[in-house]
Amino acid sequence: MNAPLPRAAAAVAAIALLPALAFAQAQSGIHRAFMDPECSPCKDFYRYANGAWLDRTEIPPAYNVVGAGREMVDRNQAVLHRVLERTAANVASEKDPAIRKVGHLYAVLMDSARADREGVRALSEELAFIDAMKTPQDVQRALERYALHGGGWFTGATAPIRLQPEADPRNSRMTIAQLWQGGLGLPDRDFYFRTDPRSVEQRRVYVEAIGRMLALAGAPEEQAKAQADAVMALETALAESSLTRLQMRDPHLLYNKITVKELGRLAPNIDWPAFFTHVGLPALARPTAEVDASMPGFLRQFSAQMAAVPMDTWRAYFRWTVLRRAAGWLGKDAEAIQFALMKTFTGQQEMLPRWKRATQAVDAYLGEALGKAYVASEFPPSSKKRMLEMVANLKRAMAERIASRPWMSAETKKQAKRKLDAIVEKIGYPDKWRDYGKLEIDPSKSAVANLIAAQKHDARWQLDMIGRAPDRTLWGMSPPTVNAYYNPSFNEIVFPAGILQPPQFDPNADEAVNYGGIGMVIGHEITHGFDDEGRKYDADGNLRDWWTAEDGRRFEALAGKVVEQYDGYLGVDTLRVNGRLTLGENIADLGGLTIAYHAWKLSLKGRPAPVIDGWTGEQRFFLGYAQAWRRKYRPESVRQQLLTDPHSPAEWRVNGPVSNMPEFRAAFGCKEGDALVRAGEQQIVIW
């Protein structure tokens, strides 16, 4: 998906980081206490680097996974928590209106007593709208309401049909409207059809949660149970026509630009001119106006369901949708239902503390206002300067790798180099901060009312982009975010300040460890521009094939080997990594680590790397990388990741790439026959 907001388009790498809370490190930056010296690095490098930590670490009850990245998220949240508590306490004297809104929103979100007192009555306006639905035309009114709420309530995109902006894949200089499938309550459409015992049990718990929530909102118990079954049947019908996650990795399959007149023939039970007019996009009411109907099969099915499904089921469906998304702010009874459901999929034993959930919500809707304070505290200009230097070095290394690829023709190399040179890097925080002047936060109203106001504000901001040239200064993540991404439509790599903190990135740290940490992240995002999806976009962000036919075939043959390698990795129980679903991320991991290694070598300028704490520079590079991926999962969490996430589990994000690198083999003296030595044709080198 390629929207003008990078968060909707990005091939996002979920980067787990070095331990942010343990600053008493050895001189090298490597944590010897995390390691298992009894394990051979050539057999299981992930275990060698992290085994002792894995053995002794317990996952806290409120988490489904812990590790370096979780620790950095916690550290950043602690910084934001201090800012928010101080802001809320001094909001009356605050002169900056955006910061006042930050303080007011945090304060109402923290008012658990009011949430318990009001319960589901806080959603009375939304529920009254749903109760008044009588005809299929009212289902359309609900779709319009969803569009003006940004797709759903508070978090996630829950609208059955999501309206959002995207940079036109064939003309990235224009923002068009995109219609996207949604409306499912389970984590993925495949969860509705899997027949293994665990999936069957999860569906049972899901239907039970629907009934409990509808009963909490006033439905008689038996009626609520019957409605829950009907809602499940409706969602299953929608899931049948939803594209799979694997299908959604194909940008050509997702590009279906048609006129509004053609859209009317595709989904005739929706009055599309009225729909676009009611959401404030009258230019799209013209029959000749064009939109991207990304999932035509889903749109056709939803239109058919509008007329076929009884209105009582539609009302129950929409009630469940809004209750489910708002549950965390509707008091302890709704929270308990929500958590019992979530626990089934994540294995968490406790909900996150309210202050953490409130911090996440403020960051979601006022992230750049909150981010100003974060940047001032945590990200000095010197760090931005150092990062820009590292990015330049990584791009130089990538240029050398492109030039030396034996499987690429001179013409394709020329186009690849042009794309690499055109990549824009965004570091730390935006050059232009977002204006929140039109957002109204009312401290006299409930958390739910203010979150709806925030989501409406965000939705209007996004919908107003349609029909205009994309604003390429926009960021898709707030400054405190611990992540990074590549956006193919803008051909940009973006690194929020939240990921650029010690010990993942430390301007004063050993360069080998820095390059194994943030250097690999930079290389990973650069490589996304040349993975199996990113390679389909040109230097200007347009969906255009710039490869010769033979080079394209050679790339796909190499990519097929990556699929085969990762298909062989066991995740949990008998569930294996899906090599096709994770292909883009696996290519980016392999390319990113390779590029980072060669960029580190370039940074030495011919000088030998020193031996520190008994490790060579080469060993520190790989150890820094492996310890950055230190994670421990609950079984439920890794199962869900294997089924839904395009990233491989951490163990294979370490052992998978290093097994293909002769540089790793040399650093640790590995020999043919060792588990992490892929010899001959088994060794995969793309970038």
Residues designated catalytic = 525, 589
Question: Which burial class, exposed, middle or buried, applies to 128 when counting CB atoms under 10 A from its CB (0-12, 13-18, 19+)?
Answer: exposed
CA distance 213 to 228: 9
* Residue 12 near residue 484, CB atoms below 8 Å: yes
> Closest by alpha carbon to 186, among 170, 166, 200, 172?
200
Residues 6+ apart with CB under 8 A from 58: none
Cα atoms in the Cβ-side hemisphere of radius 13 Å centred on 537: 34
φ, ψ (nearest 5 deg) of residue 245: -60, -35
Q: Which residues pair with 13 in a beta bridge?
A: 484
Secondary structure class of 85 (helix, strand, coil): helix
Q: Are strands 492-496 and 424-428 parallel, antiparallel or unpaired?
A: parallel
Structure tokens at 604: 């030495």
Instruction: Output DSSP code: residue 464.
Output: T
First CA to last CA across the chain, in angstroms?
24
State the Cα–Cα distance between residues 29 and 502, nearest whole angstrom. Answer: 10
C-alpha torsion 621→623→627→633, nearest 10? 130
Return the number of other C-beta atoms located less than 10 Å from residue 673's C-beta: 8
CA angle 493, 495, 501 (to 5 degrees): 155
Q: Phi/psi at 213 (nearest 5 deg)?
A: -70, -40
Closest CA to 537 of 493, 487, 585, 581: 487
| Residue 503 preceded by cis peptide, ω within 30 | yes
Q: Which of 298, 306, 263 is nearest to 139 (CA)?
A: 306
Contact 300, 266 (CB under 8 A): yes
Count CA atoms closer than 13 A to 672's CA, side-chain side: 4
**Nearest residue to 459 via CA among 438, 480, 479:** 438
And the tokens for 607?
């000088």
Amino acid at the residue 436: Y
Q: How far is CA 108 from CA 362, 446, 457, 617, in A?
A: 11, 6, 18, 51
- Which of these, 138, 340, 351, 326, lies nearest to 217 by C-alpha position? 326
**670/619 Cα distance (integer angstroms):** 12
φ and ψ at 354, to 5 degrees?
Answer: -60, -35
